[in-house]
């Protein structure tokens, strides 16, 4: 009997998880949530930016990680544009150019914002730590053109940014260890704190540096939903949160079933 | 190639370069020497780029041999792989990575495939939870309880049961988990230094063969 | 003379060198406690010989260049080298899958050495090594994960050895291998991924244990002494932590001194 539960249980589990995730994404429910302290801290960080402040927006996830970070990246991008911040998009992961294209469409650049004046995209900078260190030291020595081939001297925004000290806020959105490289190459040598968004599994690695080297920290898809609530622009984060909740409920039921099976097996022995 | 060339020469080279980089890191030296030290990591980037080429050749070798042998259940996928590889290389080199066609291929092929594979992990984790989160010992009970508490705190379920559930999950992640991770980080950090010392002294033979 | 802010780092490094060198020169040969994962490698390969099915091994993904994956990759290759030597000596089929292009040359050298040590260099076969593009090439290990999943499902290995840098790929690989009934031995230095190995494999190598692989399998006295040197460093670290806590409680702040 318990072997049958094991075998068919896995198949039923897969089907139920698929339905549990698909249904709320197609029909968001809007389950209640309490906004956490970490999300509020990050929100206040962005909200306190002065109009015209220049922000480094690090597009550092891989494709799979981007899907988990997407709601947070979009919400924070929209918040930055709403605060009239000027954004330098750049990535230290090879997927940055592809992700930028999708991201900028999702964020939706507000009318009146001009490329080169209000935002630029510098493309992918290889070398991981070496790339970050070189970028922090002197951007113009590292790059002469942006991703689209426009010389940096022809971009008014880039004439105001020489090195990492010219930014009002440094942000990294990553699905692997790049935030730690930011801490090593930016926070420690230049004493500038960094705001990071990471995927859930990276949180324990990065959290020890919060709040001394990391000033803002978002680590779960739930925080994307919370940020959307704070900026009053509900989006995919809310749907993701609903899907996560229902999928968790299904998993908990199966964990109980699995333990009951185990108990029965133990009694037989 | 003799054993001397295969093992000793790489070890000596590694030790010399490693020591040179350490000295330039810790001591204030003339600009010309520091420039050499800054240049060496760029060599690594070039070597990695060349290694990618070597990897591509190995990949092509393997898949071409599968196609030649008409390996059952495999050779069709090898053809698909080779066609896709060629498409990316030809379009990328010919039209440039910023070209719309290249972007379209990237968004139509790589992004959906990567996202789908990443999404599949959800099912693997679900079946792993079903298999593993069972009380078989004291340690597995601790694992089960903490996993359930963190799951409840991340989803709305916890708040529906008790409004302070997110704080419980947050405490687990901030206090005991952080303590363990800090200990592990320090241990791994010291292990890394030790491995570096072994490599510099030429005592780490694992990467040159001959354990 | 010494760069500002790095004096204490240099002192610590020199002390570690000195202690390690002194241990190397001493007559004392320490013994390492049993690491069941490395003993499990021989057991798993023995099972492969009995069942006539292959062994699958991988040192993970990542680049030798990156600090987060380079040392783990070296440690993983050391373990793979040992496992390959055992497989060759017991004449059992094995497959090495690589997710890192810069490890190809190293893995090839290890493979040649394994056949050479067994006295059968003519049996060397380059197709034992399968390279699948990983993190260092395309910034994502999904191609590697999918390919190795397919490999495991087709080849049905009886042992699955995964030691090195991993970034979540092991979830899928462990699950597929578990369905084949394979013995699984896994380990990584990546702190966030250790828990997955601990939960999903039969034998897990946790944290810095993977760096002891070379010393453990070779039983080289010099390498064993170096492991002991690392342990002394950890004891010193714990003592400093306790001292720091006591001083902090007494209101003494040594942090500016340590940042000299």
Q: What share of chain C is helix, strand, coil (3-state, %, to 5)?
A: 60, 10, 25
ipTM of the shown complex: 0.74
Question: A175: distance to nearest CA of chain C, Å?
Answer: 10
pLDDT value of residue A140: 92
* Position C76 in a domain: yes
Using an 8 Å CB-CB cutoff, list chain B residues near C20: 194, 197, 201
CA distance C161 to B1: 30
Using an 8 Å CB-CB cutoff, list chain A residues near C140: 62-64, 95
- Whether residues C105 and C177 share a domain: the answer is yes
Question: B11: distance to nearest CA of chain A, Å?
Answer: 24
> Considering chain B, what is the average pLDDT of its residues?
82
**pLDDT class of A167 with cuts at 50, 70, 90:** very high
What residue numbers bound the domain in which C11 lies? 7-30+222-258
- Whether residues C106 and C185 share a domain: the answer is yes
- Whether residues C243 and C114 share a domain: the answer is no
The CATH number assigned to the domain holding C160 equals: 3.40.50
Please give the model's pTM, rounded to 2 decimal places. 0.79
- Whether residues C25 and C147 share a domain: the answer is no
Contact assessment for residue C175 and residue C182, using Cβ atoms and an 8 Å cutoff:
no
Pick the residue from chain A with its C-alpha nearest to B180.
A204
> Considering chain C, what is the average pLDDT of its residues?
87
* Position C75 in a domain: yes
Domain residue ranges of chain B, discontinuous segments joined by +: 1-95, 97-132, 135-201
**Disruptive mutation site among B130, B141, B171 for chain A (greatest number of A CBs within 10 Å):** B130
The 3-state DSSP class for residue C216 equals: helix
The string of pLDDT tens digits covering residues C57-99 is 999 988 777 777 888 888 899 899 999 999 999 999 999 999 8
**Disruptive mutation site among B100, B103, B111 for chain A (greatest number of A CBs within 10 Å):** B111
- Topology adopted by domain A32-234: Rossmann fold (3.40.50)
- Whether residues C78 and C202 share a domain: the answer is yes
* Position C1 in a domain: no
**Whether the predicted pLDDT of A232 surpasses 70:** yes
Question: B1: distance to nearest CA of chain A, Å?
Answer: 33
* Position C157 in a domain: yes
* Position C95 in a domain: yes
CA distance B45 to B29: 24
The string of pLDDT tens digits covering residues A4-35 is 666 677 788 889 889 989 998 888 888 888 89
Check if B181 contacts C (Cβ < 8 Å): yes
Q: Which of A129, A201, A205 sits opposite C67 (nearest CB)?
A: A129
Nearest Cα to Cα of residue A171 among A139, A214, A206, A201: A214
The string of pLDDT tens digits covering residues B102-138 is 888 888 888 888 888 888 888 888 888 888 888 888 8
Structure tokens at C178: 């578990």
Please report, for chain A, how many H helices and E strands are present, in that order: 11, 6
Residue range C31-42: mean pLDDT, rounded: 86
Check if C230 contacts B (Cβ < 8 Å): yes
Domain residue ranges of chain A, discontinuous segments joined by +: 1-30+236-269, 32-234
CA atoms within 13 A on the CB side of A182: 32
| Partner-chain contact B144 A62, CB within 8 Å | no
Q: Which of A64, A177, A201 sits opposite C140 (nearest CB)?
A: A64
- Whether residues C235 and C169 share a domain: the answer is no
């Amino acid at each position: 009997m318990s072997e049958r539960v094991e075998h068919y249980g896995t198949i039923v589990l897969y089907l139920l998880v698929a339905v549990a995730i698909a249904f709320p994404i197609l029909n968001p429910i809007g389950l209640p949530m309490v906004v956490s302290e970490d999300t509020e801290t990050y929100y206040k960080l962005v909200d306190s930016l002065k109009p015209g402040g220049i922000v480094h927006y690090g597009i550092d996830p891989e494709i799979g990680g981007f899907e988990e970070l997407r709601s947070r990246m979009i919400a924070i991008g929209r918040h930055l544009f709403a605060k009239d911040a000027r954004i330098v998009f750049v990535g230290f992961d090879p997927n940055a150019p592809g992700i930028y294209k999708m991201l900028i469409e999702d964020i939706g650049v507000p009318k009146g914002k001009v490329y080169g004046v209000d935002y630029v995209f510098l493309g992918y900078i290889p070398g991981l730590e070496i790339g970050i260190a070189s970028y922090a030291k002197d951007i113009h020595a590292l790059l002469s053109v942006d991703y689209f081939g426009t010389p940096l001297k022809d971009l008014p925004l880039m004439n105001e940014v020489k090195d990492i000290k010219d930014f009002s806020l440094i942000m990294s959105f990553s699905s692997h260890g790049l935030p730690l490289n930011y801490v090593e190459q930016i926070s420690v040598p230049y004493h500038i704190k960094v705001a990071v968004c990471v995927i859930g599994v990276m949180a324990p690695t990065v959290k020890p540096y919060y709040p001394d080297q990391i000033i803002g920290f978002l680590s779960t898809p739930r925080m994307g939903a919370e940020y959307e609530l704070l900026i009053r622009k509900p989006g995919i984060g809310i749907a993701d949160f609903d899907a996560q909740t229902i999928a968790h409920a299904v998993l908990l039921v199966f964990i109980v079933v699995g333990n009951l099976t185990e108990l029965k097996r133990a009694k037989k022995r | 190639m003799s054993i001397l060339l295969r093992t000793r020469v790489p070890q000596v080279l590694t030790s010399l370069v490693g020591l040179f980089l350490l000295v330039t890191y810790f001591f204030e030296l003339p600009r010309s020497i520091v420039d050499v030290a800054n240049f060496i990591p760029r060599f690594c980037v070039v070597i990695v780029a060349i290694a990618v080429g070597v990897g591509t050749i190995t990949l092509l070798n393997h898949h071409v041999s599968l196609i030649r042998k008409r390996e059952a259940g495999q050779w069709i996928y090898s053809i698909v792989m080779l066609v896709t590889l060629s498409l990316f290389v030809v379009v990328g080199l010919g039209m440039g990575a910023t070209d719309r066609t290249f972007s379209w291929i990237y968004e139509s092929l790589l992004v959906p495939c990567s996202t789908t594979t990443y999404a599949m992990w959800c099912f693997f984790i679900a079946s792993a939870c079903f298999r593993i989160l069972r009380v078989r010992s004291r340690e597995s009970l601790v694992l089960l309880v903490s996993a359930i508490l963190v799951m409840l705190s991340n989803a709305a379920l916890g708040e529906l049961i008790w409004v302070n559930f997110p704080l419980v999950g947050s405490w687990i992640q901030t206090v005991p988990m952080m303590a363990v991770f800090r200990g592990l980080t320090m241990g791994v950090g010291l292990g890394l230094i030790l491995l570096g010392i072994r490599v510099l002294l030429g005592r780490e033979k694992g990467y040159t063969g001959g354990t | 003379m010494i760069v500002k802010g790095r004096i204490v780092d240099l002192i610590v490094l020199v002390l570690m060198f000195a202690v390690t060198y002194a241990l190397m020169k001493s007559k004392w040969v320490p013994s390492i406690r049993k690491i069941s994962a490395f003993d499990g490698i021989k057991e798993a390969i023995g099972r492969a010989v009995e069942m006539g099915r292959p062994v699958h091994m991988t040192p993970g993904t990542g680049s030798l260049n990156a600090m987060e994956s380079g040392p783990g990759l070296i440690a993983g290759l050391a373990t793979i080298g040992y496992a390959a030597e055992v497989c060759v000596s017991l004449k059992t089929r094995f497959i090495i899958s690589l997710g890192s292009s810069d490890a190809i040359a190293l893995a090839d050298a290890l493979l040649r050495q394994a056949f050479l040590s067994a006295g059968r260099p003519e049996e060397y076969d380059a197709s034992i090594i399968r390279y699948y593009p990983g993190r260092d090439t395309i910034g994502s290990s999904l191609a590697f994960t999918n390919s190795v999943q397919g490999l495991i499902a087709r080849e049905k290995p009886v042992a699955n050895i995964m030691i090195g840098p991993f970034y979540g790929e092991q979830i899928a690989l462990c699950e597929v291998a578990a369905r084949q009934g394979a013995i699984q031995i896994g380990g990584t230095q990546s702190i966030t991924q250790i828990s997955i190995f601990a939960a999903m494999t039969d034998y897990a190598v946790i944290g810095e244990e993977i760096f002891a692989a070379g010393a453990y399998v070779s039983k080289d006295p010099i390498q064993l002494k170096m492991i002991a040197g690392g342990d002394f460093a950890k004891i010193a670290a714990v003592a400093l932590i306790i001292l720091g806590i006591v001083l902090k409680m007494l209101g003494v702040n040594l942090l500016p001194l340590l940042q000299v």
